[in-house]
């Protein structure tokens, strides 16, 4: 039901910053838990960051803790991923995803997200 559009990727030098955006349409972004994932060719899709539908809980993968920040602007129906102190190993295609609310609760680092946007490429040069 909800459609997601990720944007904001590009080329950045090591130590630089980028902010990715995930625009939701068709439904309120507040109706879903939001996750950010990244993937490089030949490797598994890895969890980067997640936020519960209430916005009260935030989760991060170990490799990005202290560097990345997930946030949401309900008025703009957009989620963000602020990426700081970027490293070459952060180079990947980044995806945003939405998880339907359930009685089980938000499962941030699971691939059990019902909706996925197209990726936006982030390249970090040495």
How many contiguous H segments (helices) and E segments (strands) does the chain have?
A: 0, 11
pLDDT digits (tens, 9 = 90+) for 88-109: 999 999 999 999 988 888 999 8
Closest C-alpha among 70, 6, 82, 5 to residue 33: 70
pLDDT for res 110: 84
pLDDT digits (tens, 9 = 90+) for 10-62: 999 999 999 999 999 999 998 999 999 999 999 999 999 999 988 889 999 99
Could you tell me the two tokens for 111? 């691939």
pLDDT digits (tens, 9 = 90+) for 56-66: 899 999 999 99
Instruction: Count CB neighbours of 60 within 10 A.
Output: 19
């Amino acid at each position: 039901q909800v459609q997601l559009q990720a944007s904001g990727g590009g080329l950045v030098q090591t130590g630089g910053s980028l902010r990715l955006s995930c625009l939701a349409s068709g439904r309120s972004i507040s109706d879903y838990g939001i996750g950010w994932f990244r993937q490089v060719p030949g490797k598994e899709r890895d969890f980067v960051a997640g936020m519960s539908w209430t916005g009260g809980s935030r989760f991060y993968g170990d490799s990005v803790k202290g560097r990345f920040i997930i946030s949401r602007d309900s008025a703009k129906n957009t989620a963000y991923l602020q990426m700081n102190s970027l490293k070459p190993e952060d180079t990947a295609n980044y995806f945003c995803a939405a998880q339907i609310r359930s009685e089980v609760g938000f499962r941030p680092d699971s691939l059990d997200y019902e909706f996925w946007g197209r990726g936006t490429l982030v390249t970090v040069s040495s």
